[in-house]
Amino acid sequence: MLSGLKILDFSRLLPGPFATKVLADLGASVTRVVHPSLPDMMEDFGPPHGDTSTLDFELNHRKETLKLDLKEAEAQQNILRIISDFDVVIEGFRPGVMARFGLDYKTLREINPEIIYCSITGYGQESTRRSKAGHDINYVALSGIPSYSGTEHPPILGAPIADLSGSMYAASTILAAVIRRDRTGVGAYLDVPMRDCVVSLGILENNTYLNSTELPQRQTTLINGGSIYDYYQTQDGRYLSVGSLEPKFRKQLLDNLGIAETSSKPEIAEKIRSKPLSHWVQVFDDVDACVEAVLTLDEVFDGVKTVEKDGVRMQPFPVKIL
């Protein structure tokens, strides 16, 4: 779908490379600019695959690679010579770094006025934190979401939601800018702060607070444990997810648990704890109650079609284009 779109990718780690992976999966041509000798943490993340890792391979196997040390004048001149061939630039350095290389938006726009230039950073180009180091946990912490999530302790999530929300905002905004450029001939500079991206994921509680100034507390709101919407432990130490918010789903839940329609959350928890997960999976298999098992990865990928390239199994693109 994106055949003909050419992207020059200066990013490292996860946010930028995941964004360009999505665009490459959709047909864009992506060229990575990598340092000749400095390693990328993603090269050591996960099982090894040749000189890199399976994760690095999954992120980048569709992309071409250009090895350049951007601190060298010759490397900078090489970029300036080829920039007219590209539609999009994406980078993930701290603010000011690309300007020091002479490869910032202002400079590249002089050569290629239609260039779309996307910067993914922790805090944005104009933030007071613009020069601070950070990782996903820091951006999530500053979003406010952990303050009302979990029980007594903010949950440590198993997925880097700030990194990946930054990736998806970058990819979608790049595509919007491409549409505008194709219509008007005008390029764009896109400032994508991961902290702000993850703030946007808290839209439910953000909206309540902004319009009432009432701070959400743990286990008090509809989807943070303040209702029956929760994870419940089973007899064998596994967990069952219950999303039975609407009355019709709640009725199905309670009927199939075999308890009264007036049952409280502790009573639901006690009933679910009385049987192993396999029992409840069987009970709710054909029941429309928004109840599902919390799966382990071996269960998630059991029988799921995967893509294999060069001996590495990878997840397929999640959206079917019909």
Structural domains in the chain, CATH included, are 6-200 (3.40.50.10540), 230-299 (3.30.1540.10)
Catalytic residue among 163, 182, 288, 298: 163
Residue 305: predicted pLDDT: 83
Local structure of 121: helix, strand or coil: strand
Per the CB < 8 A criterion, the answer to whether 286 and 234 are in contact is: no
Residue 147: predicted pLDDT: 94
Per the CB < 8 A criterion, the answer to whether 91 and 70 are in contact is: no
DSSP 84: G
Residue 187: predicted pLDDT: 96
Phi first, then psi, for residue 266 (nearest 5°) are -60, -35
pLDDT tens track, the chain, 322 positions:
999 999 999 999 999 999 999 999 999 999 999 999 988 888 888 899 988 999 999 999 999 999 999 999 999 999 999 999 999 999 999 999 999 999 999 999 999 999 999 999 999 999 998 989 899 999 999 999 999 999 888 999 899 999 999 999 999 999 999 999 999 999 999 999 999 999 999 999 999 999 998 899 999 999 999 999 999 999 999 999 999 999 999 999 999 999 999 999 999 999 999 999 999 999 999 999 999 999 999 999 998 888 889 999 888 888 888 8
Local structure of 143: helix, strand or coil: coil
- Residue 163 annotated to the active site: yes
Cα separation, 209 vs 201, in Å, equals 14
Per the CB < 8 A criterion, the answer to whether 200 and 168 are in contact is: no
Local structure of 47: helix, strand or coil: coil
Cα separation, 107 vs 239, in Å, equals 54
Confidence (pTM): 0.91
DSSP 26: T
